[in-house]
Every structure is written in structure tokens, then in C-alpha cells.
Structure 1
Amino acid sequence: MEQEKYAIIDIGSNTVRLVIYTRDKSGRFSESENVKAVARLRNYLTDGNALSEEGVQVLIDTLKSFQEVTRHHQLEAIKCVATAAVRQAKNQEAIIQRVGEETDFTMRILSEYEEAHYGYLAVVNSMSYKSAITVDIGGGSTELTLFEDRELVHFHSFPFGALSLKKQFIEGDTPKNSELRALREFLEHQFLTLDWIEKKKLPLIGIGGSARNLAQIHQEKVDYPLSGVHQYTMKRKEVEETNKWLGSMEFDDLQRVEGLSRDRADIIIPAVEVFNCLMELIDAEIFALSRKGLRDGVFYEEMTKDFEMPVFPNVIEESFYDLAIDYDINLTHAIHVTNSSLMIVRELEEQGILRLTERDHQWVRLGSSMYNLGSYIDSESSNQHTFYLLANRTIDGLLHKERIIVALLASYKNKNLFKRNAALYEDWFTEEELDKFNIIGAVIKFAYSLNATKRDIVEDIQLECQKEELIFSIQCREDWKPEQYQVEKQKKHLEKLLKKTVTVHFHE
């Protein structure tokens, strides 16, 4: 069967990129091809701000190479957008005409507002921050946005980017101290022309290749145990230390830094200076990386054009719905397990045995809804597969630490396996947190066994605490013997963790 495909070509000041999206079985479009060319169009802008003939030819040649790919995939739905380098060119109309005549593509030049707005759309549709400041530093422009309660409040586009900053302030491959001082003074002066960033105390979210490289460099430096950079976070001190470390290197060493693309080695320092300066002015404690950017914003707008708002109401719910479809999760069964899990933890809270926050209740809901997801691959080793899939798959709306919490709960088998899975991430949690997640995992496993036959027979759960004994009263609407057998097998995990005997009574 023919798969539905959609493509976006993003003509930036530093790179030109073709991304192809393919509709999967959940109905969601996911990235299937990503082709990049380092064109550095910003370097072909003349003193009179025209894109030189050589620069135009570089652009045409790059698009012709992409054309081979789009023709091979028989793509018709192709968006071709250009940003600062073409927007700043006085001969932009002639460039549009040349692209239209010599390639398959119709090029659209994005305004400063559109470029900033698409970055904002990408962030709010793939991350759970309600309020933040975003920065998208390209080769020739830098876009900042402020959103509050997930609504765009302010935006600004500065006519400088990593390439133009390098050209303006840094003579050699790496900056001298005097050049860095001049660059920092310039950036601070520029950013303070905005009256909506100073002392905002909001997270700074980085978009684009330079931000992605910063995250990758730091992950390699700290030997990070997880794959993927989307929603990776760094503290302000970590950004400062990485900035100093990169600035102390000779260019040959800089080119060999793990996580840094070789074609960005000469522009990474001015880019990180932008992030560092902004964090100080905003008084931001967190730098978060969004792997989703302008292209994804264009894509979200296209995919939601029939809806009133191009912003998803709940990013996490969207992500978990996609997971359920991808791994053939029985949604009715998952909802029933979740309801049983929530009933049990609330009973334990009422008895003073467990203390949970509202955030913990969210982990109960998410962990129970994905419980045993790995059986999609192999039922015998489902727990290991569940942990690996959830820990290593990007889940929009969940930070990496939060992803591990859900993975630990959804893969719960016993105390020992929980400990082995948590071992790599022990530094991320306190001992009290791990003990709490261990109990929640055992509760979810217990609740799962209450729906062993997937008949959704449990209607109510009551708990009575008597000294060394917990007495569960399970009200069912049908025969419960298969569930009773499973519960008697699984209740030992709760007994060990709560240090109480568990007795379970079933009745209609």
C-alpha cells in the first residue's frame, strides 16, 4: 500500500535540509528521511546585501540534489521555506524566480514573525513547559520568543546568527579573549533592548543545530546513559563550564570534540555565548533542548490547518496515545488497570501507608497505562523490553528523568529487577524516591493481575489495615477465580515492600 508522505525543505543561512515525514499506522506523521547540506549561504551575501551569483548557484545545486530524492519518493506535497540569508538578500525576488525555473520547488521566504512563530509551535507541541523563553540561533538570525500558559506573548528576530557573529567578531578559527569580551558586550547590549527577558526566571529552550550540538557535547562529556537529545536539560553552571571548556581549546582539538558536528566547529563558540548570555540575563536555571524546530512548526501548522488552534491541548496525552497505537496496547484494559492502580494508592494513602504528591499520581497513571508494553515484542521477556522501549524512545512532553520513572513503573516485575534497571540512574533520584517508585511499581503489577483475563471485572477496591495485615476487599461483577489465582501469586511483592501480610477477599 502507498504510504502518505510529506516533505519540508528548510533553506537556512548555514545549512539546507530536506526532511520527509511518513504517516504511520497510528495516523501520525513521523520523520523518515533527513538530508542535510552545508551551504553557508550567509557567506555569499555581498556588502550590498545581495546573494552573489555563486551563492545562488550553490542554492540551486543543493536543491537539485534534493530534487533527486523527492522525485525518487514521488513526493508532491513539498514545502520549501527560506529564512534569514534569503530574507536579507536584496535580490530575493530574482532568487525565488530562479528556484522556480530551475528546480521542482516553489520557495517561500518566511518573515521574522513566521520564523519565530514556527519555533514556538514546535516547542509547545513537543514539550510540557507552560511558560519559557525560546532561542533559535541560525547562521544569519536569532529568534527569541516568550510564551506564557503556552500562548505566544512576545517575539523578536535579531539580524545576527552564529555565522555572522563569527565573521563580525572572530578573526581566526577560535576567539581571542579580547574578541570574546567584545562579542559578550555586543550580545548583552542587543538582548537588553528587549524589555521582556531580564530576570524572567524562566527556562531557556534552545532550538536548532547549535543548541543540539551543545546538548550532544555535554552528553558525551558526562557519559550520559540515555539516547536522544530532545528535552535534554542542562543547569546554568553546566552551560557556563561547557562554554569555558570549548573556549580553552585549539581549533584542531575543537574539531575532534565528541558530539560536535565538524562543520559547526568554527561557529559553536559564538552560538554558546548567545545561550550563556541569555541565561544570565533571564536568570534561567535550566537550558532545555528542543530537537523540534522551524521545520516541525511548519509541519504542525500544515497538519492542524483544519483545526481552530495549531497547539495540542495536552502533549503527554498525545504521546501516550501514539505509543498505545504503535505497540497495540488494549486501551480499555489499560484504562481499567490505571483505575485499579489509582484506587489502591488512594486507599494506601488514606491508611497512612503511602504519601504521594499530585505528580506521583501522574506517574501512577502513566506507568499503569503502559504496563507490560514490551509484550508487543516478546511476552516472555516483556519487562526488559518495556523498560528499554520507554527509556530509549523520545516521548514528547516528558523530560529524560521523567521517562525513566515511567519506564521503571511500567516494567515492574520484582524488587531485584527494579534495582537493576534503576542502577544506571541512581544519582538522578533520592533513596526515598526509589523506595516510593518501587512500591508504586508493585501496586501497578498487583492491579494488572486484577485484570488478568482483560474482562474488566473489578468495580471497587477497599482496604482495611489491621496491625500487621492489609485486607483488600475487591468487588467484582463476574466470576473472579482466574484473577484470584494471579493476585495470590503477585501479592508477595507488596508484602515485602510494605512489610505486612496481604489478604485479598473477592466478592460480587
Structure 2
Amino acid sequence: MNDLPSEPGTDAGPFGRPLFNDPSARALARVGVVDVGSNSVRLVVFDGAARSPAYFYNEKIMCALGAGLSETGILSPEGRRRALAALRRFKALADSMGVSPLTVVATAAVREAQDGEEFRQEVLAETGLKIWVIDGEEEARLSAQGVLLGWPGAYGLVCDIGGSSLELAEIRDGRVGRRQTSPLGPLKLREVRGGKAGRKVHIKATLEAMQEKMGPQRDRLFLVGGSWRAIARIDMERRNYPLHVLHEYRMDAKAIRDTVSFIEEADLGALRQACSLSEARMALVPLAAEVLKRLVSTFRPKDIAISSYGIREGMLYEQMPQKLRDRDPLIESAHFAEAKDARLPGFGMVLNDFVLPLFRSSPEELKRLIRASCLLHDVSWRAHPDYRAEVTFDYATRANLGGLKHWERIFLGLALLHRYRNKREGSPYERLFALLPEDRQQKAEILGKAMRLGSMFWMQAEARGAELRWFPKKRELELRLTPDAAPLFGEVVEARLKSLSTALSAASTRVVYLKA
């Protein structure tokens, strides 16, 4: 069963309206999506940057609609009651937020249950919400598109695990290729006969059959779904990993093996509390871990990344014109934040031009982070001055910013911390600095101190009153000032220039006053 249009744009689709009428627009009008899964029912309300939507509201209720489905052929009566109550609540919330119409999509449990259609009609009668049911391959495609929303140009294999099913999809060159679906969700595995030994045989045979159809998939493995995220959180606990941001968290085959063994030997109650997991989620983790261990040994990916983006984000990506898809989600988020929260929107790119001479030979991946840092340099100005450094660091490392590796989050956060503070010693986030190599820590400090200096020449957004020049062979730093900017050079500016010079290990520093 698949209720979604086979081609984008063939009708109004599940959103009931086009979301991106203007491909040049930066802001997304608020939109709500409900995912009725086999294990949970979740409402997400998106807002913010069009290319990198943020979570205005996010609530999940573990309903276990698919519990016992293999044996009974119907939805769990208790799960059905809880799911209906959740949908009533979500409809009321959406109405109060002005999010209309609310889009509801259902996956394996509703599409497979004998009473799935009856449940849809009950929901429609009581809430007015139409549930769109998608088949397994469409679920795989939308999950893969969710990954593309977070990783432009990503390539590899996407694996989405739900309560009752597991989907695979390959992505390459911005497109979704072959897709497969299977009954390897933890709720289904509970019902496999023969205990752990029986499950092992079943999982192995199913994944090998999927591999035969998918072909070699030795690139990156992207993991989508709550059970995978729970395992990643346990991996963080095992490793004492300091940055608890699941999106873009990386593991390898050895880490998976070690964490599966860690789960098998652990007191699950204590582990659940340490990792802040719900009882319902933790109950499924050992089953999902069995699948993940076999998945990795079957496909042997080069590395493994956790994606917080899935079906819901894939539905937004589906509606994006190519011009919008081609934009950088990080830079779009930063532009959006600057326009919304900075005191002088537009000055970020002036600041970028000011600091860039210090990084002329840097690779594009670093220049991208520099651009984002400059756009975000003033968005936390409302925080108390004594805490701005920590507030900006926390924002960069934990905010919903797409297209960021973990080390890039730390770089961005450290640069913004130095925008407000000369020294990073004594910060409550010192443990996180170790995730960034020493040479990049130094570059982040230089960038932060350059932004700290450049922010003193706060003129009109279009003005070019001050210019930095850096001569790396001679290690000479030069600050050039136009007549309009000259009056802005005072004691505080001089101190910040000296601090930047020290960070650069400059042999000499001079100020040049330009004539009109």
C-alpha cells in the first residue's frame, strides 16, 4: 500500500500545499509532520531556514502499535488506544500553533495490519486527520532523502530501522537508487521462534538476501531510526565520549562489535538510566544490536554515521526544488540566524571579508566554517556578557545546524568562544576541545580573535572601513584603516589587535592609516 503520489507535484500530496513556492526564499513557513510508526508516534513541527529546517516542536509517544502483529494480524489494542490519544493531542497542539494542515504518515504496522484501514478511518472520524500510508520501498526512499537533506552530496547505504521493519536504500550523486524492505524490526524479531539462535539464522539469511539485491555497498553506512540512535548513545557512554550530539556521530565496525558486547554484558536497567533511554526503547535495543552487528559484517561499510534525519525530513526534501537542494544547509542556517537575531544583519559577510586574508591558503571546508562563524558571531548578544562565550559555544556545538561533522561543531564553537573571550582555559567545555586537533584549535582561536577585532569596526553593513593584511613568510600583520574607520581605533581595539598578533605569532604588527 502506498498513498503518496508516485511523482512529486502530481497533486497536492500529504502536505496539501506546496511548501517552497519561492526557491530563493530562506525561511520555511511552519509545517507539522506526524510519523505513525510501529513503535512510536512522533510529531515534529519544522520552522527556520528553508534548506535546514529546525525543530520548533518535537514530541514522541511510544505506542507499540505493531506489538504482536505477526501473531494476531492486527494492531495492538493498547497501542491503538495510545496512538489515537497521541493523535488527538497532536491535532490540538497543531491547531494552537497555527500549523494546518497537519501531515500524518504511517509505515509498516498500519500498512500490514488487517485493521489498518479501520484505524485510519477511526482517526479521520475523531480528529479529521488523514493518514497517508507508505510502502516499504517508499519508506526507504524518503529516509534516504532525509539523509540527503542533512548531507548534501552524500553517498553510501541508508539503513532505517523501525519497530516492525528495516529498510535499505543506496544514495549517490544526490539521488536515491535501489531500495529494499524487510521484517527485521525489533517488534517482529521478538516473535521469531528459536530464541537468540533462531533470530541469528533469520537475520543472517534476510540480510544476505538483501545484499544480493543491493549489490556491494562498501561506502558509508547511514543509520536512521530510534533504535540505532539508542545504540549510538550507548556507544558514547562506553567510550566516555563528551559531545552528546547524535547526528553525524561516527562509529566503525570494531566499535559496533564492542558496543554490542557491552550491551550483552550490561545491567540494562542501569545502562538505560545512564543513557537517559526510555524503558520501551531499551527493551528493543538488544534485538536491534543483533541486527546491527550482522548488518555491518554483511555489508562491511568503510565507516558508519548516525543520522537524526529520516522520513519526516525526507518529505520536506521531496518538495524542495533543485535550486534549494543545492544550497549549503550550514550557511543557510547561519544566514537565517543572523537575519533573525543579530544586531546588524548583513555585517557577518563584511566580517568574513575582514578575517579572510588570514586564511587565504586554507581549504574550502575551513573557509566554509569561517563564513558560518562570521554570520553567527553576534546572534547571542542578548546573553549576559559574562556568559556569552559559553552560550555561543553551546549554541554552535548543540544547535540544529545541518551539514556539520562533530569536529566542525567544536571548531565553530571554539571560534565563537574566542570571539568573546581571549582564553579558553577554565571553560566548562574543556573536555570537548580534545575532539579538535591542536592545529585546528589554534586556527579557531585566530579566527575568534580576528572576529573580536573586526567587530569593533561596526559600521554600516556595506561599509569597508578596515582591512587586515597578513604576510605569512615575514609573519607581518597589518591593519589598514580608511579615514571613516580611523576614529574607531582606540585602546580596546589596540588590545584586541595585540591579542590577534600574539595568536598568529606575528613578528611585527602595524596600523596603516589610508588617505581619502
Count of equivalent residues: 486
Q: What is residue 226 of structure 2 aligned with on the other side?
A: 209
2:391 maps to 1:366: no
The within-5 A match list for 1:53-452 is: 59-60=83-84, 62-64=86-88, 66-67=90-91, 69-70=93-94, 76-128=100-152, 130-168=154-192, 171=195, 175=196, 178-179=197-198, 181-196=200-215, 198=216, 200-249=217-266, 256=273, 258-301=275-318, 304=320, 307=321, 311=325, 313-328=327-342, 330-346=344-360, 356-379=362-385, 381-413=387-419, 417-421=423-427, 423-451=430-458
| Cα distance in 2, alignment partners of residues 260 and 431 from structure 1 | 34
2:502 maps to 1:478: no
Question: Partner letter of residue 506 of structure 1?
Answer: Y
TM-score by length of 2: 0.81
| Deviation (angstroms), 1:276 | 2.8
| Cα distance in 2, alignment partners of residues 426 and 117 from structure 1 | 37
- Give the 3-state SS of the residue equivalent to 2:38 in structure 1: coil
| Deviation (angstroms), 1:357 | 3.2
| Cα distance in 2, alignment partners of residues 184 and 54 from structure 1 | 28
Q: Please tell me whether the aligned partners of residues 20 and 33 of structure 1 are also in contact (alpha carbons under 8 angstroms).
A: yes
Indicate the larger mover: 497-506 or 127-136.
127-136
Q: Please tell me whether the aligned partners of residues 64 and 76 of structure 2 are also in contact (alpha carbons under 8 angstroms).
A: no
Question: Partner letter of residue 141 of structure 1?
Answer: S
Question: Partner letter of residue 190 of structure 1?
Answer: A
Specify whether residues 66 and 461 from structure 1 end up closer, same or farther in structure 2 by C-alpha distance, changes over 3 A only: closer
Specify whether residues 462 and 314 from structure 1 end up closer, same or farther in structure 2 by C-alpha distance, changes over 3 A only: closer
| Deviation (angstroms), 1:236 | 2.8
Q: What is residue 353 of structure 1 aligned with on the other side?
A: none
- Give the 3-state SS of the residue equivalent to 2:181 in structure 1: strand
| Deviation (angstroms), 1:255 | 5.3
Task: Identify which of 8, 13, 16 aligns with 2:41.
Answer: 16
| Cα distance in 1, alignment partners of residues 476 and 274 from structure 2 | 57
TM-score by length of 1: 0.83
| Cα distance in 2, alignment partners of residues 278 and 147 from structure 1 | 17
- Give the 3-state SS of the residue equivalent to 2:287 in structure 1: helix
Q: Please tell me whether the aligned partners of residues 122 and 297 of structure 1 are also in contact (alpha carbons under 8 angstroms).
A: yes
| Cα distance in 1, alignment partners of residues 49 and 440 from structure 2 | 37
Question: Partner letter of residue 185 of structure 2?
Answer: G
Q: What is residue 19 of structure 2 aligned with on the other side?
A: none
| Cα distance in 2, alignment partners of residues 25 and 317 from structure 1 | 10
Indicate the larger mover: 277-286 or 452-461.
452-461
Q: Please tell me whether the aligned partners of residues 473 and 507 of structure 1 are also in contact (alpha carbons under 8 angstroms).
A: no
| Deviation (angstroms), 1:391 | 2.5
- Give the 3-state SS of the residue equivalent to 1:17 in structure 2: strand
Q: Quote the sequence identity (%).
A: 21
Q: What is residue 495 of structure 1 aligned with on the other side?
A: 501
Indicate the larger mover: 151-160 or 61-70.
61-70
Q: Please tell me whether the aligned partners of residues 202 and 282 of structure 1 are also in contact (alpha carbons under 8 angstroms).
A: no
- Give the 3-state SS of the residue equivalent to 2:192 in structure 1: helix
Indicate the larger mover: 438-447 or 67-76.
67-76
Q: Please tell me whether the aligned partners of residues 145 and 153 of structure 1 are also in contact (alpha carbons under 8 angstroms).
A: yes
| Cα distance in 2, alignment partners of residues 18 and 466 from structure 1 | 56
Question: Partner letter of residue 157 of structure 1?
Answer: T
| Deviation (angstroms), 1:147 | 1.0
Deviation per CA, 1:395-417, whole angstroms, max 9, x where unpaired? 11112221110111123158862
Q: Please tell me whether the aligned partners of residues 187 and 274 of structure 1 are also in contact (alpha carbons under 8 angstroms).
A: no
- Give the 3-state SS of the residue equivalent to 1:341 in structure 2: helix
Question: Partner letter of residue 327 of structure 1?
Answer: D
| Cα distance in 1, alignment partners of residues 408 and 472 from structure 2 | 32
| Cα distance in 1, alignment partners of residues 58 and 421 from structure 2 | 42
| Cα distance in 1, alignment partners of residues 198 and 256 from structure 2 | 20
| Cα distance in 1, alignment partners of residues 298 and 82 from structure 2 | 38
| Cα distance in 2, alignment partners of residues 58 and 451 from structure 1 | 55
Q: Please tell me whether the aligned partners of residues 73 and 113 of structure 2 are also in contact (alpha carbons under 8 angstroms).
A: yes
- Give the 3-state SS of the residue equivalent to 1:428 in structure 2: coil
Indicate the larger mover: 376-385 or 281-290.
376-385
| Cα distance in 1, alignment partners of residues 298 and 358 from structure 2 | 47
| Cα distance in 2, alignment partners of residues 504 and 147 from structure 1 | 52
| Deviation (angstroms), 1:53 | 6.9
| Cα distance in 1, alignment partners of residues 352 and 78 from structure 2 | 61
Q: What is residue 17 of structure 2 aligned with on the other side?
A: none
| Deviation (angstroms), 1:315 | 1.5
| Cα distance in 1, alignment partners of residues 40 and 436 from structure 2 | 39
| Deviation (angstroms), 1:491 | 1.9
Q: Please tell me whether the aligned partners of residues 243 and 432 of structure 2 are also in contact (alpha carbons under 8 angstroms).
A: no
Question: Partner letter of residue 38 of structure 2?
Answer: S
| Cα distance in 2, alignment partners of residues 67 and 479 from structure 1 | 55
- Give the 3-state SS of the residue equivalent to 1:266 in structure 2: helix
| Cα distance in 2, alignment partners of residues 72 and 445 from structure 1 | 42
| Deviation (angstroms), 1:332 | 2.5
Question: Partner letter of residue 307 of structure 2?
Answer: S
Specify whether residues 216 and 340 from structure 1 end up closer, same or farther in structure 2 by C-alpha distance, changes over 3 A only: same
| Deviation (angstroms), 1:371 | 2.5
| Cα distance in 2, alignment partners of residues 127 and 67 from structure 1 | 31
| Deviation (angstroms), 1:118 | 1.9
| Cα distance in 2, alignment partners of residues 241 and 92 from structure 1 | 39
Q: Please tell me whether the aligned partners of residues 10 and 81 of structure 1 are also in contact (alpha carbons under 8 angstroms).
A: yes
Deviation per CA, 1:253-295, whole angstroms, max 9, x where unpaired? 5655524321023321221233333333333243222222222
| Cα distance in 1, alignment partners of residues 48 and 498 from structure 2 | 41
Q: Please tell me whether the aligned partners of residues 242 and 431 of structure 2 are also in contact (alpha carbons under 8 angstroms).
A: yes
Q: Please tell me whether the aligned partners of residues 396 and 409 of structure 2 are also in contact (alpha carbons under 8 angstroms).
A: yes
| Deviation (angstroms), 1:487 | 4.1
Indicate the larger mover: 359-368 or 58-67.
58-67
Specify whether residues 473 and 324 from structure 1 end up closer, same or farther in structure 2 by C-alpha distance, changes over 3 A only: closer
